[in-house]
Amino acid sequence: MAESRTTINEPAESGYRVDMRGITKSFEGVKALCDVQLQVKPGEIHALVGENGAGKSTLIRVLSGVHIPDSGEIRINGRPVILHGPKDGIMAGVSVIYQEFALVQHLSVAENILLDEFRDRSFVNWKAMRRKAKELLENIGFGNIDVTARVGDLTVAYQQVVEICKALTRNASILVLDEPTAVMTNREVEQLFKLLLNLREKGVSIIYVSHRLDEIFEICDRITVLKDGQYVTTVDKNAIDKNQLVSLMIGRDLSSFFPPRSCEIGEVVLTAEHIRAGNAVHDISFEVREGEILGLSGLVGAGRTECIRAILGIDKLDGGSVTLCGRRIRIGSAKEAYKSGIGFLPEDRKNQGVLLRRPIYQNITLSCQKAISRFGWIQKKKEKPIVEKYIDELAIKLASPQNNVESLSGGNQQKVAIAKMLAADSRVLFLDEPTRGVDVGAKIEIFKIINELVSRKYAVVMVSSEMTEIIGMCDRAVVIRDGRSVGELQKDELTELNIIHYAMGVKSNGTEE
Partner 1 sequence: MELKNREKEAAAAKSAISVRGMSLSTFLIRYNAIIILVLLVVVAASLSDLFLSRTNIFTLLRQQVPYLIIGMGMLMVVITGGIDLSVSSIAAVSSIMVAYSMTKWGLAAGGANTWATIAIGVGIGAVFGAVNGFLVAKLRMPAFIVTLATMYAGEGLAYIITKGNTLMLDNKSGGYADLVGFSTGTTIFGIPYAVIFAAVIVIIFYFVMKYTTFGRMVYAIGSNESAVQLAGINSKKHLFFVYLLSGILCGIAGVIITARSGNASALTAGVDYNMSTIAGVVIGGASLMGGEGKVVMTVIGVFIIAIIGNIMNLINLASYPQMVVKAAVIVLAVLLKSLSSKKHG
Which region, left, alpha or beta, applies to residue 243 given φ > 0 means left and ψ of -120 to 50 means alpha?
alpha
Query: Considering only CA atoms, which of 160, 163, 161, 131 is closest in space to residue 147?
Result: 131
191 binds partner 1 (CB under 8 A): no
Query: Considering only CA atoms, which of 381, 449, 457, 375 is closest in space to residue 411?
Result: 449
Rounded to a whole number of angstroms, the minimum distance from the CB of residue 329 to partner 1 is 15
Which region, left, alpha or beta, applies to residue 267 given φ > 0 means left and ψ of -120 to 50 means alpha?
beta
Among 358, 397, 456, 491, binds partner 1 (CB under 8 A): 358
Among 353, 434, 483, 487, binds partner 1 (CB under 8 A): 353
Cα–Cα distance for residue pair 403/401, rounded to 1 Å: 5
419 binds partner 1 (CB under 8 A): no
| Piece in contact with partner 1 (CB under 8 A), picked from 54-62, 358-366, 442-450, 497-505 | 358-366
Report the Cα–Cα distance between both ends of the chain, in Å, rounded.
Answer: 51
330 binds partner 1 (CB under 8 A): no
| Piece in contact with partner 1 (CB under 8 A), picked from 319-327, 348-356, 445-453, 477-485 | 348-356
314 binds partner 1 (CB under 8 A): yes
Structural contact between residues 332 and 312, judged by C-beta atoms closer than 8 angstroms: no
Within positions 430 to 489, which residues make up the interface with partner 1, using CB under 8 A?
none
Residue 1, judged by CB atoms within 10 A of its CB (0-12, 13-18, 19+), counts as exposed
127 binds partner 1 (CB under 8 A): no
Among 209, 281, 424, 438, binds partner 1 (CB under 8 A): 424
Rounded to a whole number of angstroms, the minimum distance from the CB of residue 390 to partner 1 is 14
Query: Considering only CA atoms, which of 49, 157, 37, 155 is closest in space to residue 97?
Result: 157
356 binds partner 1 (CB under 8 A): yes
Rounded to a whole number of angstroms, the minimum distance from the CB of residue 104 to partner 1 is 21
Cα–Cα distance for residue pair 31/53, rounded to 1 Å: 11
Structural contact between residues 470 and 293, judged by C-beta atoms closer than 8 angstroms: no
Cα–Cα distance for residue pair 311/49, rounded to 1 Å: 32
The torsion angles phi and psi of 93, rounded to 5 degrees, stand at 95, 10
Cα–Cα distance for residue pair 220/209, rounded to 1 Å: 10
Rounded to a whole number of angstroms, the minimum distance from the CB of residue 404 to partner 1 is 9
Within positions 372 to 401, which residues make up the interface with partner 1, using CB under 8 A?
372-373, 376-378
| Piece in contact with partner 1 (CB under 8 A), picked from 12-20, 137-145, 330-338, 483-491 | 330-338
Rounded to a whole number of angstroms, the minimum distance from the CB of residue 455 to partner 1 is 25
Within positions 61 to 90, which residues make up the interface with partner 1, using CB under 8 A?
none
Question: Smaller CB distance to partner 1: residue 84 or 327?
Answer: 84
Question: Smaller CB distance to partner 1: residue 70 or 214?
Answer: 70
Question: Smaller CB distance to partner 1: residue 313 or 411?
Answer: 313
| Piece in contact with partner 1 (CB under 8 A), picked from 17-25, 34-42, 102-110, 364-372 | 364-372
The string of DSSP letters for 421-456 reads HHHTT-SEEEEESTTTT--HHHHHHHHHHHHHHHHT
Among 53, 65, 229, 346, binds partner 1 (CB under 8 A): 346
Structural contact between residues 440 and 259, judged by C-beta atoms closer than 8 angstroms: no
420 binds partner 1 (CB under 8 A): yes
Could you tell me which residues come within 8 angstroms of residue 425 by beta carbon, excluding any fewer than 6 positions away?
Answer: 341, 368
Question: Smaller CB distance to partner 1: residue 121 or 357?
Answer: 357
Give the chain's count of helices (H) and strands (E).
18, 22
Structural contact between residues 460 and 290, judged by C-beta atoms closer than 8 angstroms: no
Structural contact between residues 293 and 455, judged by C-beta atoms closer than 8 angstroms: no
Cα–Cα distance for residue pair 55/23, rounded to 1 Å: 11
Rounded to a whole number of angstroms, the minimum distance from the CB of residue 365 to partner 1 is 9
Rounded to a whole number of angstroms, the minimum distance from the CB of residue 407 to partner 1 is 10
Cα–Cα distance for residue pair 59/126, rounded to 1 Å: 39
59 binds partner 1 (CB under 8 A): no
Question: Smaller CB distance to partner 1: residue 121 or 380?
Answer: 380
Rounded to a whole number of angstroms, the minimum distance from the CB of residue 217 to partner 1 is 41
Structural contact between residues 291 and 265, judged by C-beta atoms closer than 8 angstroms: yes
Question: Smaller CB distance to partner 1: residue 123 or 377?
Answer: 377
344 binds partner 1 (CB under 8 A): yes
Q: Which residues pair with 31 in a beta bridge?
A: 26
274 binds partner 1 (CB under 8 A): no
Among 109, 216, 354, 486, binds partner 1 (CB under 8 A): 354
| Piece in contact with partner 1 (CB under 8 A), picked from 157-165, 269-277, 343-351, 463-471 | 343-351
Q: Which residues bind partner 1 (CB under 8 A)?
A: 314, 333-335, 337-339, 344, 346, 351-358, 362, 366-367, 369, 372-373, 376-378, 420, 424
